[in-house]
């Protein structure tokens, strides 16, 4: 292996509009996430260069949004994934944050399940009602 050759292949990168299209966001939104500290792409000249790591973060961001979290809440959540080099006091904080979030998510899980039960009952009622009227086609 020649001297100084990088072990990892040339990492694939993305422009802001590639990310935007992939996630169905606008560039404006992605820059906003940067302002809020959710993404920190490097610069090449003045242009932003995104890596596969930013891609992964965006996936988490989208999931957080579907779950109804605020951007600030999502940032806190993303920080939990950065456990690598934390010191003990910081770790204790992370642990308690993670556990808080687990608790609210478990509440949310119950809410979703109960709402699904409700909605499926409604669905049954409506289907039934339509059947009695012989209007169940389509």
List the interface residues with a second copy, window 65-84 (CB under 8 A): 66-69, 80-81, 83
State the Cα–Cα distance between residues 65 and 77, nearest whole angstrom.
12
Q: Any contact of residue 28 with a second copy (CB under 8 A)?
A: no
List the interface residues with a second copy, window 94-123 (CB under 8 A): 94-95, 98-99, 101-102, 105-109, 111-116, 118-120, 122-123
Concatenating the DSSP letter of every residue in 41-93 gives -EEETTEEEEEHHHHHHHHHHHHHHHTT--HHHHHHHHHHT--TT--HHHHHH
Q: Any contact of residue 131 with a second copy (CB under 8 A)?
A: no
State the Cα–Cα distance between residues 42 and 5, nearest whole angstrom.
22
Helix (H) / strand (E) element for 131: namely helix 88-132
Chain centre to alpha carbon of residue 14: 18
Chain centre to alpha carbon of residue 111: 20
Instruction: Provide the mask over 15-54, with x wherever binding to DNA is found by CB under 7 A and - wherever it is not.
Output: xxxx-------xxxx-xx---x--------xxxx------
Candidate residues 56, 72, 80, 131; the one interacting with DNA per rule CB under 7 A: 72
The binder of 88, among a second copy, DNA, none, by C-beta within 5 to 8 A per type, is a second copy
Q: Any contact of residue 117 with DNA (CB under 7 A)?
A: no
Q: Any contact of residue 103 with DNA (CB under 7 A)?
A: no
């Amino acid at each position: 292996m020649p001297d100084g050759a990088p072990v990892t292949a040339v990492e694939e990168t993305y422009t802001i509009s590639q990310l935007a299209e992939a996630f169905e966001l606008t560039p404006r939104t992605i820059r906003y996430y940067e302002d809020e500290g959710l993404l920190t792409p490097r610069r090449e000249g003045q242009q932003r260069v995104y890596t596969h790591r930013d891609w992964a973060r965006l996936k988490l961001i989208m999931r957080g949004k579907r779950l109804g979290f605020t951007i600030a809440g999502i940032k806190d959540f993303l920080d939990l994934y950065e456990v690598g080099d934390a010191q003990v006091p910081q770790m204790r904080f992370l642990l308690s944050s993670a556990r808080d979030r687990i608790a609210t998510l478990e509440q949310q899980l119950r809410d979703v399940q109960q709402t699904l039960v409700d909605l499926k009952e409604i669905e049954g009622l409506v289907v039934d009602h339509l059947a009695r009227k012989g209007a169940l086609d389509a």
